[in-house]
């Protein structure tokens, strides 16, 4: 691989750019809707130049690190400019609609599109928080257009290798969105809702690790997460309903003073944690 283009130079795109820059043989080009971010990335030596329409023809890999609608809009507009040798991977937080719309588009123009989701991040957003080692050892999830193309898996593995991912997993778009509703989106909903308690204003001096763990992702990018939640509304609503049902059981046990029932609920949660994550 000689040249990679990255669209969207926020936390994810900026970190991808810096990771590829570690490989001195790869030319890294970047684009962002905010031109000042491109200029800043150039000054920070995170990219070698701007990703213009003329430069697209020379890209072996293009990474789309924008919101889901931005991914769809950009590739729909630029598809006719991409060479058939190009591989495009998106980094959006949902996969179903992106893959439904862009697999046929890529097939029509002859290039390869693969859905992707780098499983690392930070509660702060923006290029200023990007770093070259953000994805070192982190999982990368991909949704291929075909699950029988072994050569594509090998190609994707080689294209992504400079980023430093620990493991590349293959999954369907539906499976991805179902799991991510629980593992990521629900965590942000709960954290963001929890911090709204009036008691939060009085917590200083009374809180420690459990408070920090639960509220870390309450500090989020509301524009991005609102779009992701609505993109995945059915799976996320299912998880919210599971959670509300469980909370109702805890509330009922506490309200009635049912110590045995409450202990059973707590022990059930403890054992489930060990089951899914280990001791």
Span 150-175, average pLDDT = 94
Spatial CB neighbours of 139, under 8 Å, sequence gap ≥ 6: 119, 120, 165, 166, 167, 168, 169
> CB within 8 A of 59, min separation 6: which ones?
3, 4, 5, 29, 51, 82, 83, 86
What mean pLDDT is reported for the chain? 95
What string of H, E and C letters represents the secondary structure of 215-270? HHHHCCCHHHHHHHHHHCHHHHHHHHHHHHHHHHHHHHHHHHCCHHHHHHHHHHHH
Contacts (Cβ under 8 Å, ≥6 apart) of 30: 5, 6, 7, 9, 13, 17, 38, 41, 46, 47, 49, 50, 51
Q: Which CB contacts under 8 angstroms, 24+ apart, belong to 23-29?
A: 23/162, 26/1, 26/2, 26/162, 27/2, 27/3, 28/3, 28/4, 29/3, 29/4, 29/5, 29/55, 29/59
The pLDDT tens digits of the residues spanning 109-144 come to 999 999 999 998 777 789 999 999 999 999 999 999
pLDDT at 122: 78
pLDDT in tens, 52-64: 999 999 999 999 9
What pLDDT was estimated at residue 206? 78
The pair of structure tokens assigned to 260 is: 């045995």
Beta carbons within 10 angstroms of residue 266's beta carbon: 12
- pLDDT given for residue 120 in this prediction: 87
Residue 279 has pLDDT above 80, yes or no: no
Please choose, from the candidates 131, 128, 123, the residue with its C-alpha nearest in 3D space to the C-alpha of residue 19. 131
Q: What percent of the chain has pLDDT over 70?
A: 100
Q: What is the DSSP letter of 59?
A: -
Residue 1 has pLDDT above 80, yes or no: no
Q: Look at residues 233, 215, 214, 234 and name the one whose alpha carbon lies nearest to residue 225.
A: 233
Tell me the two tokens of residue 18: 């810096």
- Tell me the pLDDT band of 201, cut-offs 50, 70 and 90: confident
Write the DSSP string, 149-185.
-HHHHHHHHHHHGGGT-SEEEE--HHHHHHHHIIIII
Distance from C-alpha of 61 to C-alpha of 85, rounded to nearest angstrom: 9
**pTM for the whole structure:** 0.89
Work out the burial of residue 234: count CB atoms within 10 Å of its CB; fewer than 13 is exposed, 13-18 middle, 19 or more buried: exposed
Q: Considering only CA atoms, which of 198, 200, 212 is closest in space to residue 123?
A: 212
């Amino acid at each position: 691989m000689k040249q990679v283009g990255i669209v969207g130079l926020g936390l994810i795109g900026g970190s991808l750019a810096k990771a590829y820059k570690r490989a001195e043989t790869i030319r890294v080009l970047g684009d962002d809707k905010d031109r000042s971010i491109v200029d800043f990335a150039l000054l920070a030596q995170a990219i070698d130049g701007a990703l213009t329409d003329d430069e697209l023809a020379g890209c072996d890999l293009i990474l789309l690190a924008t919101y889901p609608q931005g991914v769809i809009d950009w590739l729909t507009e630029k598809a006719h400019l991409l060479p058939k040798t190009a591989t495009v991977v998106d980094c959006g937080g949902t996969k179903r609609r992106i893959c439904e719309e862009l697999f046929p588009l890529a097939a029509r123009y002859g290039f390869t599109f693969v859905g992707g989701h780098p499983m690392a991040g930070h509660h702060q957003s923006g290029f200023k928080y990007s770093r070259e080692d953000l994805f070192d050892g982190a999982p990368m999830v991909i949704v291929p257009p075909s699950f029988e193309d072994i050569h594509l898996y090998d190609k994707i593995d080689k294209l992504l290798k400079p980023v430093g991912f620990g493991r590349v997993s293959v999954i369907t778009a539906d499976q991805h969105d179902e799991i991510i509703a629980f593992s990521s989106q629900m965590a942000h909903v709960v954290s963001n809702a929890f911090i709204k308690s009036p008691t939060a204003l009085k917590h200083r001096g009374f809180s420690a690790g459990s408070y920090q763990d639960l509220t870390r992702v309450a500090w989020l990018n509301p524009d991005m997460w609102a779009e992701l939640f609505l993109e995945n509304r059915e799976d996320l609503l299912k998880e919210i309903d599971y959670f509300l049902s469980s909370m109702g059981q805890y509330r009922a046990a506490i309200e009635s003073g049912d110590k045995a029932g409450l202990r059973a609920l707590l022990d059930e949660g403890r054992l489930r944690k060990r089951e899914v994550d280990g001791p």
